[in-house]
Amino acid sequence: MGDPKTPRSSVDDSLPSSTPPLSPCTTISSSSSSTPPKPPVPPARQPVSLLQPSLKKRSKSTKVFRVFRSVFRSFPIITPACKLPSLPGGRLPGDRSSNSSGTRITGTLFGYRKGRVSLSIQENPRCLPTLVVELAMQTNVLQKEMSSGMLRIALECEKKPENGKLTLLEEPMWTMYCNGKKTGYGTKREATEEDLNVMELLRPVSMGAGVLPGNAEMEGPDNELAYIRAHFEHVIGSRDSETLYMLSPEGNNGPELTIFFVRIG
């Protein structure tokens, strides 16, 4: 006859004497200590509700009339030596009159303070951009130039046989001049997700300037995206010359901004 306690003693010896009994609480605590906490999920971007711009066609007679009235208003300042007479307030004679000969559009200059400025042109704040140009200028430089009271940007490209059917604003690249000084090259690009998000946030804004929260993944958590939005008068001088004149509110002696698009050769 064997000892009846032998089987129980064999089972007890198979368990390590130093291992405490496990419990659900012990298991959860061990799992949480080995797994790092997940970072907070960033807020979802607003869905884009911008509309497609309308395709407005101008009559031939209206176009000829506008060209005749604006032919002397579309000559950019290419070199510092070129000096044009100005009136008090930095305004050129015939720069803008009450009898507007152009089309009113919405223009937005935006960018991170340490990044390059982009220009977005829209039919109105509710529409998708018809043109986005990345300019050869940093945002902080733009703000400094605007504070001086007058800023003239000339975007110049050359005629090429392979681009004969392109309109001026369909050109892919321009040489950029800022107040007569060459700064680099402006490039046309498709609107990115970031561009559309900015336009969506600024949809209620018709005119103004300010800052928007930046994309922390791209520019760091402490950076901000600055913007300037205004109405512009779009004047078509010829097939190779178009000009954007920033319109200031009535009675507001704000900074003067003019953007020239020119094709030469």
- The helix (run of H) or strand (run of E) holding residue 136 is strand 131-138
Rounded distance between C-alpha atoms, residue 243 and residue 94, angstroms: 13
Which two tokens mark 30?
A: 């061990």
Rounded distance between C-alpha atoms, residue 88 and residue 106, angstroms: 26
Is the pTM value of this prediction over 0.75? no
pLDDT at 58: 45
Pair 247, 231: CB distance under 8 Å: yes
- 135: nearest Cα among 120, 157, 122: 120
pLDDT at 168: 94
pLDDT digits (tens, 9 = 90+) for 193-245: 999 999 999 999 999 999 988 765 555 445 789 999 999 999 999 999 999 99
Label residues 49-67 b or e (16+ Cβ within 10 Å = b): ebeebeeeeeeeeeeeebb
Q: What is the pLDDT along the chain (265 residues), one digit of tens a residue?
A: 545 444 444 444 444 444 455 444 444 444 444 565 554 444 456 677 888 887 654 444 344 444 444 544 444 544 443 333 333 334 343 444 444 568 999 999 999 988 999 999 999 999 999 999 999 999 999 989 988 888 999 999 998 887 778 999 999 999 999 999 999 999 999 999 999 999 999 999 999 999 988 765 555 445 789 999 999 999 999 999 999 999 987 656 778 899 999 999 8
